Chain A
C-alpha cells in the first residue's frame, strides 16, 4: 500500500464521523431545531461506546451503547427546548459543556486502558477491485452505515411523507400546527435522531478511529459537523462533499507538517474553520438558494396558542 493510498484511507476514516454527525444534525435542523450540543453528544457517544465496548468485549455492542446514549442525552435538550421552550442556542451550548464534563468524569478510569476495536469487513469480489476495492469495500461497518445513512436521509427528506412533514414543521411551525401536525412530536423525534447519529459518530472515534479513550477526544469535530450543515445549505449530498473535504484537509495538514513544510501548524489546524468561513461567504451570495433550503423557523421555539 503506497503512501497515497494510505492517505486516502485515512481521509475516509476521518470523514466518516463528520458525515454521520452532520447528517443527524441536518435532520434536526430541518425540523427547525438548532442543536449546538453536537460536540457534547459526540463525546458522550465516544465515552459510552468505549465503556460498553470493554464491558461486553464486543465493539458492536459498544456502538449500540453509543447510539442509545447519544439519543438519551439529546432527550435532555429536547425536553428543555421543546417542552419547556428554552433558548435553543443557550441550551445547546450547555449540552456541549455538560457532555464534555460528564464524559471526562465517566472516562477517568478508562484513560490509558486499551479498548476494543471494530475490524474492517471485506466485501467479497468488490474488495478485489484494484485501488478502489481496498478504499471503498474493505472498510469497517460504520463506513458502510454512513453511506446508507446518506441515502436514507436523502430519501426520507425528499421522497417520503414523513420527511415532507418534517420539512413543513421546520419551514413554518405555526402553519404546521394549524394543519394538525404535531410540532412537538416531530421535533422530539428529529432531535433524538440527531442525538443517535452524534452518538454513533462519537462511538466511531473510540471504537474505529482509535481503540482508546482520551479526554476531549472529539476535539472540535462536533463543531465542524455543525458548520458542515450550513456549509451544505441543508442538502444531504453536499454534506457528503463537505465531510470529505474537511476530512481531507485535516489529514493533509498532518502530512504537510510531517513533510516539514514551513507553515505554522496552528495555521494548518485552523484551515478547516477558515474553509468553512470562505464557503459560507461564497454560498450566501446565492440568497435564493440559501433561503429555499434554510428551515425558516430554525432556532425558534414554538408555543401553541391554547
Chain B
C-alpha cells in the first residue's frame, strides 16, 4: 500500500520524497518539439496541477508518463529511481494510473468487463465486480457493474474510469480535464474523492482549463507554454487572472458583453414542439422542445453532454428533418421540412461540436473546407459558368485568407489541411467561416470545447458581436462559465427535454446545476 507519511511531506527534505520526478524530458515529432526540456516534481499526497494552453504539450507529457509515448531525451524518476516506461502496462505496474479526457471505455461491454480489461491477471469477472462495488462505496463513486457503458451518462462513465484506475492501487493518479464534462455538483463530488485520495498519501496530477478549480483544489501548479515549463506556482496564492497570464504569456482580453436591452425583439428562430426520435440506442429522443430566439439575443443551452444537445443541433440545422414544416421557423419562414442548404441559403449558419469529421474534413485544405460549407450559400461568389459549377479557386482562397485574418487563425502555410491546425485554431476558422457571411441565425454547439483561453475569448467575443449586430444566436455548451458569459437567457437540456429559458441576469449557477441534474425538468415523468 501507500506510504504512511501523508501530508507532512513539505517539511521533509524535498529531494528524497519526490514521488515522480521528470528531468529534462524532451519529445520531438519530426521537426516539431512537443516537449522541450521539461522538469516536473510531484510529492506524495500532493494534488499537482499541470496547466497550459492547447498545444502547449500537456498531453504529450502525460502520454510519456503513461508509457504510450517514448521521450526523445531526458529521464523519468519514480520514487528515486530512473525508470523507462515502455508501455501503459508498465506504468500501471509502477503505480501510475490515468483517467483519460476522452474516456477509453468500451461502449458495448459492461462496467465490470471494462474494469477487468485494465487489470492484469486472470481474476474472474465476478470478483472484480465485487471489488469495484467496494471501491465505489469507499470513494463515493456509485456505479452498477452490470450496466452497459454505452447506456451511461458522461459523469457515470468518468466514475467507471476512476474506479478502474483506483482498483490498480495507483500511487499517482493522472486526471486529464476531468471536470469539463461534469455538472457543478458532479465536479464537487469528484473533488471530495480526490481529497480522500490525497489523505491516503496518493498523488494526483490534475490537468484542467478551469483555473478556479485549480486554485481551490491544487497544492502546486506547473505551467507549460510552447512545449516548455514557464513556471511553477502555488495556485492558492495566485488569482485566476495571474495564472492565465502565465499560461498565455500575455493578458487575455476580457469578453465585453452588453446585455441586449430590446426586450421584445423580432423572433428569428422559433422551435414549436420539436420532436425527434433517437436514431441509435446511444442517442436521445427529443421531446416537445419549444424555444424562441429573438434578433440581437443569445440563448444558451446548458446541460450535461448526451442529454439531447447533438440531436437538437441536428434538428435545428436540418441534418434531420421535422415531421411538419412549422416545427422550426427561421426569419418567419417554415423550415421544418427544408434541408441544410436551404436553411443556410436563407441566412442561417451552423457550427457543429465535432470539428474534424463534422465541421471540417481533416485531409482537405482550408479553402476546400470553406467551399464545402458555403458552395450553395455563396454560389454567386464562388462559382461561375451558369450552373456548370466551376469554382473560382482564387476567390475561395481569398475568402479563406480573409477569415483567417479576421479570427487570427495560426496555421502552417497559407492553405494547409484542416487536420494540421490545433483544435483552437481550427475552431476559430470554423467560426470565422460562418461569421464571415453575417448570418442572421447562428447555431453553435460547444463553441470553445477543448479550446485554450485566448482562442475561447476571441470566439466568444465574435459571437457576442454578431448578436449585437442584430442576429439571433443559439449556443449549446456544457461549460457553465461559457453559458453565463455569453447568454441573455439560459435554458437547460435534460433527457431530451428543454427547460423554459430563464434570464441569465436572474438565475444562479446553483439553480442551473440542479436543472442539469434533471431536478425540476422531469418531475412530470417521475410522477407518472
Contact = CB atoms under 8 A, between A and B. Distances in A.
Whether chains A and B associate is yes
Interface string B86-106: 011100100000001001111
**SS class, residues of chain A in contact with chain B:** helix
A230 to B, nearest CB: 16
Contact of A172 (B104, B116, B118, B148): B104
Given A161-B122, A168-B117, A306-B68, A175 B105 contact: yes
A294 B87 CA distance: 29
Interface stretch (A17-25, A147-155, A176-184): A176-184
Contact of B117 (A181, A287, A288, A294): A181
Contact of A179 (B70, B104, B148, B282): B104
A177 B69 CA distance: 12
Nearest to A304: B68
A293 interface: yes
Given A174-B104, A287-B280, A161 B109 contact: no
Interface residues of A, number: 24
B113 A164 contact: yes
A197 B108 CA distance: 26
Interface in B118-173: 118, 122, 125, 148, 150
Nearest to A294: B108
Given A164-B113, A180-B92, A171 B69 contact: no
Nearest to B117: A168
A165 B117 CA distance: 7
Contacts of B88: 178-180
A161 B108 contact: no
Contacts of A296: 107-108
Given A292-B148, A292-B281, A171 B107 contact: yes
Contacts of A168: 106, 109, 113, 117
Contact of A288 (B89, B100, B116, B281): B281
A291 interface: yes
Contacts of A306: 68-70
Interface string A169-206: 00110111111110000000000000000000000000
A295 B117 CA distance: 17
B412 to A, nearest CB: 19
Contacts of A178: 68, 88, 100, 104
A167 interface: yes
Contacts of A161: 116, 122
Contacts of B68: 177-178, 306
A294 B107 CA distance: 11
Contact of A180 (B70, B89, B106, B280): B89
Nearest to A290: B281
A168 B116 CA distance: 11
B25 to A, nearest CB: 16
Contact of B109 (A164, A181, A291, A294): A164
Given A164-B113, A180-B88, A172 B281 contact: no
B301 to A, nearest CB: 26
Contacts of B125: 164
A292 B104 CA distance: 17
B87 A180 contact: yes
B154 to A, nearest CB: 15
Contacts of B150: 291-292
Interface in B42-97: 67-70, 87-89, 92
A175 B108 CA distance: 13
Given A179-B118, A180-B92, A292-B150, A172 B107 contact: yes
A91 to B, nearest CB: 21
Give the most central of B89, B107, B117, B122: most A CB within 10 Å: B117
Contacts of A167: 106, 108-109
A174 B106 CA distance: 10
A292 B118 contact: no
Interface in B269-319: 280-282
Given A171-B109, A180-B87, 17 more contacts: A164-B117, A167-B106, A171-B106, A171-B108, A172-B104, A172-B105, A172-B106, A175-B106, A178-B68, A180-B89, A181-B117, A287-B281, A288-B281, A291-B108, A292-B108, A293-B108, A296-B108
Interface of A: 161, 164-165, 167-168, 171-172, 174-181, 287-288, 291-296, 306
Interface of B: 67-70, 87-89, 92, 100, 103-109, 113, 116-118, 122, 125, 148, 150, 280-282
A-B complex: 9 closest residue pairs judged by Cβ atoms: A175-B104, A288-B281, A180-B88, A180-B89, A178-B104, A171-B106, A171-B108, A180-B87, A168-B106
24 contacts: A161-B116, A164-B116, A167-B109, A168-B106, A168-B109, A171-B106, A171-B108, A172-B104, A175-B104, A176-B117, A177-B68, A178-B104, A179-B117, A179-B118, A180-B89, A180-B92, A181-B117, A287-B281, A291-B280, A291-B281, A291-B282, A292-B150, A295-B108, A306-B69
